[in-house]
Chains A and B, each alone.
Chain A
Amino acid sequence: MRVLAQMAMVMNLDKCIGCHTCSVTCKQAWTNRGGVEYAWFNNVETRPGQGYPRTYQDQQRWRGGWALNRRGRLKLRSGGRLRRLLSLFSNPHLPKLSDYYEPWTYDYQNLITAPAGDDLPTAKPTAPIVWSANWDDSLGGGPELAQHDPVLKTMSERVRLEFEQAFMFYLPRICEHCLNPSCVAACPSGAIYKRTEDGIVLVDSDTCRSWRMCVSGCPYKKIFLNHQTGKAEKCTFCFPRIELGMPTVCAQTCVGRLRYIGIVLYDPDRVLEAASVRDEHSLIEAQKRVLLDPRDPSVVEAALASGISEEWLEAARRSPVYSLIFDYGLALPLHPEYRTLPMVWYIPPLSPVVDAVRDTGFDGEDAENLFAAVDSLRIPIGYLASLFTAGDPAPVRDVLRKLAAMRAFMRDITLGREPDESIPASVGMTGELMYDMYRLLAIAKAEDRYVIPHAHREPTTEAFNDGCSVQDSGRVMLPMPKVRAS
């Protein structure tokens, strides 16, 4: 068993208020530059909605991620490697700028410099404004726009976009820093790599040759071409901060306090197997099996042998990400069917729950009512299943039941009444476990949300000793081809 550490994130969508602070702070810190005006490493999309770039989840069209070929072997959906190598210069699956949006600005100067005239000056937009990174924000779909939502199209149940039936929730997204990243595999230059020490997926801009195969290869469309430098850019999981034990900008600034960062341990040699499971509904369990239990002595032994330090192991044992996936069974991956083994996980949104049981008396005290409500939620379970479980409603239902049970269980405690152990038991939990889950979800102190061990940056010559003859201060010096303007 080889053991590697992976920096991972969980977002509790039940807590997301859709404020976009994460997007703005990320943008201001990382992509407030020429060439990436259109790039939002972190974006928040309203569901139902088209997403960013629009309809990116329609892999029939964009061909991102992985698929199994007829023999059950894993291949990039965009085609075999040979085919992609041969079609380097004409990539039909690349989103156009208009699929993201064409950035615009205004003639602000006019407000100050307008000469004396006969009307109030205005700051005219530089182009007609027809689409943006967040065009369908908070529409709950919107009748004209939601029909293009790829998730809605996959659902068997009919969703009515009418006033009384309105529903929406927010889906914040960053790079998934996948265990099986299709961008890495798609890059003909080998410029994208996964950091051995923490699994963060980065672009080596010196090596990037602007082929843009990563852009189409990523099913989440989280790699962006800088139009000025011609280099691919992406979310770095804020590694300069992470290395210091600081949360990513998006997590640090999340006022909904819904993000958790921690490490998980995994066996890289099991990745391909997990990604190749034929039944899509089994992919989540397969993905979980790649992750290792940091409390298991054999895992600890193997991890130490693999060079993982004691304090990283301690961080893995305290990891809120691991707890939310395994101890509480709340976190689900986004689109496991893309087979990239994404490492940003989500707790699906519960609310609003009680509308559905309006005739059955006071809900907060009656767990049975809550369970009935879960199946008639305003947000259709089918929609959530299409996002998080390749369409399988069972795991989503399990999570929502746990959340509902927690509220019922905690109400007694809050009101100073005797806790009812039958409530956690009904979802396969003990009262203590459920109480701890409540604390992690609700009280969620910063030190519990973010368990980030410091990076080891002390010089260890062995770490760099890969036998490469051209090694020189860690950089490969090769002649740089001229980058074509896009």
Chain B
Amino acid sequence: MFGSTPNGDALGMDGAVSEALLRAGRYLRRAETSADLRAVYRVGGRDSDAFQRGQWSHDAVVRSTHGVNCTGSCSWKVYVKDGIITWEEQQTDYPSTGPDRPEYEPRGCPRGAAFSWYTYSPTRVRYPYVRGVLLEMYRAARAELGDPVLAWESVTGDPLKRRAYHHARGKGGFVRAGWDEAVEMAAAAHVSIVKRFGPDRIAGFSPIPAMSMASYAAGSRFFSLIGAAMLSFYDWYADLPVASPQVFGDQTDVPESADWWDATYLLVWGSNVPVTRTPDAHWMVEARYRGQKVVVVSPDYSDTVKLGDEWLPAQPGTDAALAMSMGHVILREFYVNRQVPRFVEYAERFTDLPFLVTLRADGGSYVADKFLTEESFKPMVFDRGKGPVAPNGTLGFRFAESGMGKWNLDLGDIDPLLTLYGESAETVEVRLPRFDVEGVLNRGVPVVRVGDQLVTTVFDLVLAQYGVGRAGLPGAWPESYSDAAEPYTPAWQESITSVPAEKAIRVAREFARNAEQSGGRSMIIMGSGCNHWFHADTIYRSFLALLKLTGCQGVNGGGWAHYVGQEKVRPLTGWAQLAFGFDWARPARQQAATPYWYLHTDQWRYDTFTADTFASPLAEQRFAGKSVADLIAQSARLGWMPSYPTFNRNPLDLADESADPVAHVVASLQDGSLRFAADEPDAPENWPRALTVWRANLLGSSGKGHEYFLRHLLGADSAVRAEPDGDVPEGKLDLLMALDFRMTSTTMFADIVLPAATWYEKHDLSSTDLHPYVHAFNPAIAPPWQTRTDFAAFTAIAKSFSVMAKTHLGVRKDIVAAPLMHDTPDELATVNGIVHDWREDGSTPIPGVTMPRLVVVERDYPAVAERMAALGPLVERLGAMTKGVRFELSKEVEYLRGRNGVVREGSARGRPSLARDTDMCEAILALSGTTNGEVAAAGFADLERRTGVPLKDLAEHRRVTFADTQQGPVSVGTSPEWSGIEKDGRRYSPFTLNVERLKPWHTLTGRQHFFLDHDWMAEMGEQLPVYRPPLSMSKLFGEPAIGEQGELGLAVRYLTPHSKWSIHSEYQDNLVMLTLSRGGPTIWMSPADAARIGVADNEWVEAVNRNGVVVARATVSHRMPEGTVYLYHAQDRLIGVPKSETSGKRGGTHNSLTRVLIKPSHLIGGYAQLSFAFNYLGPTGNQRDEVTTIRRRSQEVDY
């Protein structure tokens, strides 16, 4: 029966006795045992495995997804059994990408897979809570005064009472309140603050609307309708790449992950795709199989390096040095020594490289000054053999009647010269700033004279900046690639990044040659590892230069792929109407959050330097003697950045004081009787008074300068160790309210906590930039205990507010100061980027030109709830504007009357209903071009008139309803809301519309920019791509230099990259994720650094700098480079964080060691693409330049 083993023994089992024993047992079992007694076989059946069958059985599978702060937008199956959510698993029913590429299934990640843990977890917020000390005082006052608003005022107006509940913040002592009582308190606070201080003293904070559009819009609609400010998040998170508005005139527009597949060369730069783009990582992995090469730049041996072909371990924050040297190689080998026709054509048509720049005499030399313009906002190129000419498509054609039909990239007969070299014999030396060592480079450019102006091209300046010399040009140039003294050679970068010069050269060559061979299919995935630095915009500009030079942008499989926050609200137009109440009143108050927090958490009071610290060696002293806060105030009064609270008076009162409130405000500003609040942010009349946070953990996750928030905004205990400048207020907010389903630092410090429904308990919509679909949230169960959806919670607050408003507010006029907006004629305010400050030169400020636009808006406060629940009349009266394109929507309003029903009573009588969350979802889809082909067609028709190029054919006849999204993910369509062409199942890649249809970018030249000519960009030394090293915390704040070891331990670079076990702070408290990780805060460090401070793996350490203290355990791995530690983002302080030895208080969050530092150039506004739009432009809340000391602490910890 059996064969033989090679040594001749019979096959079989080990021994005869045991066989006999077992053989006897064989007959007792109803199963087949193998003759050798080795195996037992049995036919499975319905009965034998009942236990597992029981486990698997379930009653329903419901489609939903996860809500905020994750680009995944993965559709999930939620399993329900006996009315209980049991587990989740990914949906796999995404529309196909076609036969020859992978599919999107099954999107998801371990964090999302662990979400259902929250539903019944002990950290679930099940009831409304109010801090006991506040509730007692309020109840007493309410009983005494009989009016909620008066009761609120009596508590918060009493300094002792105010101090008492401020000081109790974050120290436990919550008591349960009923919904009615909690809502009444919140509404009373809001009514009172509107009345006493003004609606712009109220703010709402909620991020990332794409990942639950209705939940965001429910709250932001309430705040917008009462005139409160919504705070931005993308810039505040430092996820906004400021280089994107600078270069593209676009917030951020990136390829879907399926387009990674089209790339044949992929640089992954400062991004950890498997960890932070988990559901998309497979595209990168699989594309390698079709021959894509993957090169990873990362300071540590990251998860992405594991998948890459090559690893360039650049020192943290030095990435621009590497990119600049790659640019040096590409310019030398693909433009100067040899020209690639495709590259040159692309550069001439789609970049500002051929545009002419004037040179200004500066001592014995010259500096680059301004674009040469024919008339305002019409920059010029040099037409071969003819001379300067203003081509179509520049900003001057965009809004003027005379530009109708000419705002396009059709060059006609113009043959623009990239370089004047050879065209002109004349050369001059220009001075260019360098920052690796502070100094100036002198390098020559060819010039021509136009009138009395000396001009050169952007391309010639770029060659000078990059140090790519040509025979006969004056100045100091690198001798070769191995010249380490001159920027920006490969050898020079090696001394900074520690990446071997030879590697930089080779990767640059491969990158460009691949682009040449593939028609532009070289791609750079760039992430927060590069984008969260103070000078991240310069880092990104050095990356984007590589893509523009090689013609990769606007090509499927090529270009930038920035995935840091953002998350594309694909149905943008409809969502924006609802979210900001544009259907009832325009404009809404939208605030750039970073300066807001910087001022109101008083981090500015801890600055020990002036703004010119950041300026160029060639600066003209525009920032001299000014603090960064002074520049914020200047930016506010010039209308560049929004600023709420705006004035030191209630805007409702200002509007009441004159029949012409605008003139009244201007006059009062001039005579000094009215001040901008930003001039004196610490004056009590200028404090923010109420803040509501929902769908977010501001304090435990995104709040850079966490300890400053606690001390100054909240008046709570903090571990700030730095000394402020003078007496600084502590405790500004009367009310901090949080809506959440779990306990976070934000709920712990909030005065009122409202219990929120989770993502498995409501209706909503989700979309992302990573895939081209919209899909639904649906409730798998009803919101349990006393939880409510955000929609229901804000509806309740609005109703209560409206009732109290009848007595306390009535109908009021509100004067809104709106910044000069991008994609509107406002961006023509600053001619040639030359800054005039009316206060400094004594001129009369002009609203909408040299100061904010002033708009009087009617606030019908008693009607707020009714307006929230109905689609307002401005939708059809004014249409919707998205990125400068007008969408006509009256037919869609009629459609929504039918679909959602009509309001029959009250002030919104006759309007389409938005009474339910599903109504809101329906309206979002109906009013957007991506989900409604009619709307897209209307937008393209408008854009056709302006550009004169055919576009309408791109719109497809389709309408996505909410029911469709509940069935499964639905593909979106091409729309002028975005820049990619998706028709006929094509993968989304940004700017294909621009490249293929000659539609201009939304910039000054209408092209992608290398050169930025605003005064402040020159002041910063950042007219051109440049390398700026990380900030020195020793120079700025006297922190020890990296590598120094002292009493507080070893000084190290402190980075907070995104974690494998959480999406920001969500999931880092989830028991499943804690079990798979180290179960609480850890700091990753190299074995060498661990040895220096004598710490072993999993031992407790304490990290201390001037901003605060962190207590964590050490994770020691040789994956980490020396001199750098990681505290993965975002580790809140609620899970197993002991008391600190240093402060005696609870150890901090990852942001206890960070603070906000504002880059002055991010404050620019009112000039072409450098104009404000919400989450489009604004100072970033960067945090990567930070350092800390770290040491082994006592291993006895106390909680």
Chain A interface residues toward B at CB < 8 A:
14-15, 17-21, 23-25, 27-30, 32, 69, 71-76, 80-82, 85, 103-106, 108-109, 111-125, 129-130, 132-135, 137-145, 161-164, 166-169, 180-181, 184-185, 187, 190, 192-198, 200, 202, 204-205, 207, 236, 238-241, 249, 252-257, 268-269, 271-273, 276-278, 351-355, 358, 362-364, 406-415, 438, 441-446, 455, 457, 463-464, 466, 468, 470-471, 473-476
Are A278 and B89 CB-contacts (below 8 A) given A19-B274, A73-B14?
no
A121 to B748, CA, bound (A): 8
Instruction: Classify chain B: how many residues form its interface, as a range.
Output: 35 or more
B123 near A438 with CB under 8 A, answer no
A351 to B301, CA, bound (A): 13
Which one, B38-46, B142-150, B720-728, B1024-1032, is touching chain A? B38-46
Residues of B contacting A470 with CB < 8 Å?
A: 30
Are A272 and B41 CB-contacts (below 8 A) given A140-B301, A411-B291?
no
Are A410 and B291 CB-contacts (below 8 A) given A249-B89, A352-B310?
yes
Instruction: Decide if B101 is an interface residue (CB 8 Å cutoff).
Output: yes
Instruction: Decide if B482 is an interface residue (CB 8 Å cutoff).
Output: no
Are A411 and B290 CB-contacts (below 8 A) given A108-B122, A351-B309, A443-B100?
yes
A82 near B17 with CB under 8 A, answer yes
A476 to B42, CA, bound (A): 13
Are A476 and B29 CB-contacts (below 8 A) given A72-B9, A85-B21, A121-B172?
yes
Known interface pairs A17-B278, A111-B743, A123-B1136; 20 further A-B residue pairs with C-beta atoms within 8 A, sorted by A's residue number: A17-B307, A18-B306, A24-B110, A25-B87, A28-B116, A29-B55, A117-B173, A122-B1138, A132-B1078, A145-B1097, A167-B301, A195-B42, A202-B44, A255-B107, A269-B2, A363-B309, A411-B291, A413-B290, A414-B292, A468-B30
A457 near B46 with CB under 8 A, answer yes
A358 near B503 with CB under 8 A, answer yes
Task: Point out the residue from B282, B311, B1069, B1120 that lies within 8 Å of A355, measured CB to CB.
Answer: B311
B172 near A114 with CB under 8 A, answer yes
B1087 near A81 with CB under 8 A, answer no
Are A132 and B1075 CB-contacts (below 8 A) given A69-B14, A253-B106, A352-B307?
yes
Are A169 and B100 CB-contacts (below 8 A) given A73-B12, A85-B18, A473-B47?
no
B44 near A239 with CB under 8 A, answer yes
Distance in angstroms from A4 CB to nearest chain B CB is: 8
Nearest B residue to A25 via CB reads B113
Which one, B125-133, B195-203, B230-238, B760-768, is touching chain A? B125-133
A460 to B278, CA, bound (A): 46
Contacts between the two chains (Cβ within 8 Å), count: 443
A351 to B288, CA, bound (A): 10
Residues of A contacting B834 with CB < 8 Å?
A: none
Task: Point out the residue from B109, B510, B1078, B1134 that lies within 8 Å of A129, measured CB to CB.
Answer: B1078
Residues of B contacting A364 with CB < 8 Å?
A: 291-293, 309
A115 to B287, CA, bound (A): 55
Instruction: Decide if B286 is an interface residue (CB 8 Å cutoff).
Output: yes
Residues of B contacting A19 with CB < 8 Å?
A: 109-110, 274-275, 278, 281, 1060
Distance in angstroms from A211 CB to nearest chain B CB is: 13
Task: Point out the residue from A29, A80, A117, A130 that lies within 8 Å of B172, measured CB to CB.
Answer: A117
Instruction: Write out, one digit per residue, whether chain B residues 278-303 have a CB within 8 A of any chain A CB (1) or not (0).
Output: 11011001111111110000000101
13 contacts between A and B (CB under 8 A): A72-B5, A80-B15, A132-B1079, A137-B1060, A142-B1117, A185-B39, A240-B57, A272-B2, A273-B5, A278-B7, A364-B309, A442-B102, A443-B100
B9 near A73 with CB under 8 A, answer yes
A444 near B102 with CB under 8 A, answer yes
B30 near A358 with CB under 8 A, answer no
Are A139 and B1117 CB-contacts (below 8 A) given A272-B12, A444-B286, A446-B105?
yes
Task: Point out the residue from B291, B305, B310 that lies within 8 Å of A408, measured CB to CB.
Answer: B291
Task: Point out the residue from B293, B1117, B1136 that lies within 8 Å of A124, measured CB to CB.
Answer: B1136
A257 near B102 with CB under 8 A, answer yes
Instruction: Decide if B1077 is an interface residue (CB 8 Å cutoff).
Output: yes
Instruction: Decide if B1139 is an interface residue (CB 8 Å cutoff).
Output: yes
Task: Point out the residue from A17, A352, A363 that lies within 8 Å of B281, measured CB to CB.
Answer: A17
A112 near B291 with CB under 8 A, answer no
Count chain B CB atoms within 10 A of each CB in A85, A163, A255 and give the residue with the most.
Answer: A255
Instruction: Decide if B1137 is an interface residue (CB 8 Å cutoff).
Output: yes
Residues of B contacting A184 with CB < 8 Å?
A: 38-40
Residues of B contacting A204 with CB < 8 Å?
A: 42, 48-49
Nearest A residue to B1147 via CB reads A122
A132 to B101, CA, bound (A): 38
Instruction: Decide if B13 is an interface residue (CB 8 Å cutoff).
Output: yes
A28 to B77, CA, bound (A): 13
B56 near A138 with CB under 8 A, answer no
Distance in angstroms from B59 CB to nearest chain A CB is: 15
A154 to B308, CA, bound (A): 27
Instruction: Decide if B785 is an interface residue (CB 8 Å cutoff).
Output: no
Residues of B contacting A117 with CB < 8 Å?
A: 171-173
Nearest B residue to A111 via CB reads B743
A190 to B101, CA, bound (A): 48
Are A74 and B310 CB-contacts (below 8 A) given A114-B173, A414-B290, A476-B29?
no
Instruction: Decide if B717 is an interface residue (CB 8 Å cutoff).
Output: yes
Residues of B contacting A23 with CB < 8 Å?
A: 110, 1076
B1135 near A123 with CB under 8 A, answer yes
Nearest B residue to A21 via CB reads B110
B1072 near A24 with CB under 8 A, answer yes
A224 to B1097, CA, bound (A): 29
Distance in angstroms from B208 CB to nearest chain A CB is: 21
Nearest B residue to A146 via CB reads B1118
A444 to B1121, CA, bound (A): 37
A129 to B1136, CA, bound (A): 10
A200 to B1199, CA, bound (A): 48
B1199 near A124 with CB under 8 A, answer yes
Instruction: Decide if B31 is an interface residue (CB 8 Å cutoff).
Output: yes
Distance in angstroms from A52 CB to nearest chain B CB is: 11
A20 near B110 with CB under 8 A, answer yes
A104 to B1069, CA, bound (A): 13
Are A278 and B32 CB-contacts (below 8 A) given A140-B1118, A197-B44?
no
A313 to B282, CA, bound (A): 31
Residues of B contacting A256 with CB < 8 Å?
A: 281-282, 285
Within B1115-1137, which residues are at the interface with A (CB < 8 Å)? 1115-1122, 1133-1137
A362 to B310, CA, bound (A): 12
A76 to B37, CA, bound (A): 12
B25 near A190 with CB under 8 A, answer yes
A195 near B33 with CB under 8 A, answer no
A276 to B174, CA, bound (A): 68
B309 near A137 with CB under 8 A, answer no
A112 near B14 with CB under 8 A, answer no
Count chain A CB atoms within 10 A of each CB in B11, B19, B1122 and give the residue with the most.
Answer: B11
B47 near A475 with CB under 8 A, answer yes
Instruction: Decide if B842 is an interface residue (CB 8 Å cutoff).
Output: no
A408 to B1115, CA, bound (A): 39
Residues of B contacting A116 with CB < 8 Å?
A: 132-133, 168, 171-173
Are A73 and B13 CB-contacts (below 8 A) given A80-B18, A120-B1146, A180-B38?
yes
B1118 near A162 with CB under 8 A, answer yes
Task: Point out the residue from B13, B42, B105, B278 that lies within 8 Å of A193, measured CB to CB.
Answer: B42
Distance in angstroms from B430 CB to nearest chain A CB is: 36
Nearest A residue to B3 via CB reads A273
Are A30 and B290 CB-contacts (below 8 A) given A119-B171, A120-B1146, A255-B281?
no
Instruction: Decide if B879 is an interface residue (CB 8 Å cutoff).
Output: no
A188 to B132, CA, bound (A): 62
Nearest A residue to B743 via CB reads A111
Distance in angstroms from B316 CB to nearest chain A CB is: 14
Task: Point out the residue from B51, B103, B1069, B1145 that lies within 8 Å of A123, measured CB to CB.
Answer: B1069
Residues of A contacting B743 with CB < 8 Å?
A: 108, 111-112
Nearest B residue to A19 via CB reads B278
B56 near A240 with CB under 8 A, answer yes
A108 near B286 with CB under 8 A, answer no
